[in-house]
């Protein structure tokens, strides 16, 4: 078994990343804009997303090369250029598209589950310093496109049906095309472990759950197609970082360390952001009566940027 090589489970043609956790949106907004109005008004009316880079999606176990790019200027200096100083993980899951739809057609939100084959774990690695400098006005680019890791196992929605649970109540009520007859999430326990460089043991840094998502995966898919965009079999769309309401359930180091202000203790060492040699591993599972439905693991190790 140790000679088995895991591969990407599908040929991914297109990749979209959503921003569907209210707790994550609130924390990020508070960090960067202050607590007065942390979440933009449009966030409560539609599932926010951006088009990602499918070519750099890699399978669990692939090393992640620290990206280079520009960062914010300090004072009157020119923008910093070099290896990212704020490497982060993002705890996400991703839906794999099944049948899809033809260009110019839409998928009804109440039929959207029929177009989702299943779910995988996903780590949408982020270079926070590169992202912070580049994202205005068009959003993420080099800060995200260098790598995204997924687990090799696709767990179908049929297998997840026993773990369906009620999704959070949405206020205000969304537009008609996003209103579901039955709005569900899934009770999927999620864990993040970091194995610091040079240490033998990993430390659990996050325990969260898929059921914290505000916008459901079916709403995400329906919104994606409302303008006639065609989805194809094997397309991937990420949930966005899945953070819960408590600090121990935050889904990235940006939140866990409050943008580096509160270093995270990791068994004799500490981190604000990831260092070279650090390995991050996600686990996910549904707990049944005497059994578990597992998602395998989603892991990657940070290696130095090329000179």
DSSP output for 232-274: -TT-EEE------SSGGG--SHHHHTTTTTSPEEETTEEESSB
Report if residue 7 sits inside a domain.
no
The per-residue pLDDT for 1 is: 63
DSSP output for 178-219: G--SS-EEE--EEEEEEE-TT-SS-EEEEEEEGGG-SS-HHH
How far apart (Å, rounded) are the C-alpha atoms in residues 63 and 76? 36
Report if residue 2 sits inside a domain.
no
The per-residue pLDDT for 307 is: 72
Closest by CA to 87, choosing from 146, 17, 150, 156, is 146
Report if residue 61 sits inside a domain.
yes
Q: Could you tell me which residues are beta bridge partners of residue 302?
A: 64
239 touches 68 (CB < 8 A): no
Distances (CA, A) of 176 to 49, 65, 185, 223: 19, 44, 19, 11
192 touches 206 (CB < 8 A): yes
187 touches 210 (CB < 8 A): yes
Report if residue 9 sits inside a domain.
no
Provide the CATH number for the domain around residue 255: 3.90.850.10
**Using a CB cutoff of 8 Å and minimum separation of 24, what contacts does 158-161 make?**
159/118, 159/293, 160/118, 160/119, 160/186, 160/188, 160/286, 160/293
Report if residue 37 sits inside a domain.
yes
Full residue range of the structural domain in which residue 226 is found? 15-69+80-303
Number of domains in the chain: 1
Phi, psi of 299 (to 5 degrees): -135, 155
Percent of the chain whose predicted confidence (pLDDT) is above 70: 100
Exposure b/e, 194-208, CB count within 10 A at least 16 = b: bbbeebeebbebbeb
Report if residue 4 sits inside a domain.
no
pLDDT tens track of the chain, all 307 residues? 678 889 999 999 999 999 999 999 999 999 999 999 999 999 999 999 999 999 999 999 999 999 999 999 988 999 999 999 999 999 999 999 999 999 999 999 999 999 999 999 999 999 999 999 999 999 999 999 999 999 999 999 999 999 999 999 999 999 999 999 999 999 999 999 999 999 999 999 999 999 999 999 999 999 999 999 999 999 999 999 999 999 999 999 999 999 999 999 998 899 999 999 999 999 999 999 999 999 999 999 999 998 7
How far apart (Å, rounded) are the C-alpha atoms in residues 239 and 209? 12
How far apart (Å, rounded) are the C-alpha atoms in residues 118 and 110? 17
Report if residue 3 sits inside a domain.
no
Within 8 A by CB and 6+ apart from 265, the residues are: none
Report if residue 75 sits inside a domain.
no
> Hey, which residues are catalytic here?
24
Q: What is the pLDDT of residues 221-231, one digit of tens each?
A: 999 999 999 99
Q: What is the pLDDT of residues 270-279, one digit of tens each?
A: 999 999 999 9
């Amino acid at each position: 078994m140790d000679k088995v090589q895991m591969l990407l489970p599908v040929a991914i043609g297109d990749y979209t990343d959503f921003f569907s956790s209210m707790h994550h949106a609130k924390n990020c907004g508070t960090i960067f804009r202050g607590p007065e109005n942390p979440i933009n008004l449009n966030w409560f009316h539609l599932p926010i997303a951006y088009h990602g880079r499918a070519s750099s999606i890699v399978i669990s176990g692939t090393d992640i090369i620290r990206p280079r790019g520009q960062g914010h200027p300090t004072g009157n200096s020119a923008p910093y250029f070099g290896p990212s100083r704020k490497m982060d993980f993002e705890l996400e899951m991703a839906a794999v598209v099944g049948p899809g739809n033809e260009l110019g057609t839409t998928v009804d939100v109440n039929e959207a589950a029929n177009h989702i084959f299943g779910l995988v774990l996903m780590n949408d690695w982020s270079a926070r310093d590169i992202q912070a400098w580049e994202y205005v006005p068009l959003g993420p680019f080099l800060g995200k496109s260098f790598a995204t890791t997924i687990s090799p196992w696709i767990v179908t929605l049929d297998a997840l049906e026993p773990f369906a649970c009620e999704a959070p109540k949405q206020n205000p009520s969304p537009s008609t095309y996003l209103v579901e007859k039955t709005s569900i999430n899934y009770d999927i326990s999620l864990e993040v472990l970091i194995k610091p460089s040079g240490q033998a043991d990993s430390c659990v840094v996050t325990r969260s759950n898929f059921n914290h998502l505000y916008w459901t995966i079916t709403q995400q898919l329906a919104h994606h197609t409302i303008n006639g965009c065609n989805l194809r079999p094997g397309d991937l769309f990420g949930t966005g970082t899945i953070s819960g309401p408590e600090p121990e359930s935050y889904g990235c180091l940006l939140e866990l360390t409050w943008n580096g202000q509160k270093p995270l203790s990791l068994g004799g060492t500490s981190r604000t952001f990831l260092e070279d040699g650090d390995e991050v591993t996600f686990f996910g599972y549904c707990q049944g009566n005497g059994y578990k439905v597992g998602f395998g693991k989603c892991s990657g190790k940070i290696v130095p940027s090329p000179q």
